[in-house]
Amino acid sequence: DYAIDGMGLAKIYVAVKWGQGNLFGQYGCGSVPIKQGDVYLINNYTLPHWVYNGSDEDRIVLDISANLNSPIVKQSIITAFKKAFYES
């Protein structure tokens, strides 16, 4: 898949509505501590993953496949990361 980078990352996963009791796990990582509003880069093409909704509400995610090797997408991710972690 041309969208997978060297680490296997190929999806932008946004937890739009993520109630208490929802779980996301990935092979080799175990449960990932996702909270509502979190955004993750994930590898769901080469690593099995699972999601369990243990809440009483619908779980809503925005699952974006993108060419992560695209200079525009790559720069957007780097800019967002810096803004979130270095400018706040």
Q: Give buried/exposed letters for 64-84 (b at 16+ CB in 10 A, else e).
A: eebebeeeeeeeebeeeeeee
Among 6-10, 17-21, 40-44, 45-49, the least confident range = 6-10
- Our CA dihedral for 32, 72, 59, 34, rounded to 10 degrees, sits at 20
Residue 14: predicted pLDDT: 93
**Quick one: pLDDT band at residue 5, thresholds 50, 70, 90?**
low
pLDDT in tens, 42-83: 877 777 889 999 999 999 999 888 777 788 888 888 898 888
CB atoms within 10 A of CB 61: 16
pTM of the model: 0.71
Tokens of 22: 């929802």
State yes or no: pLDDT of 20 exceeds 70. Answer: yes
d(CA 33, CA 37): 12
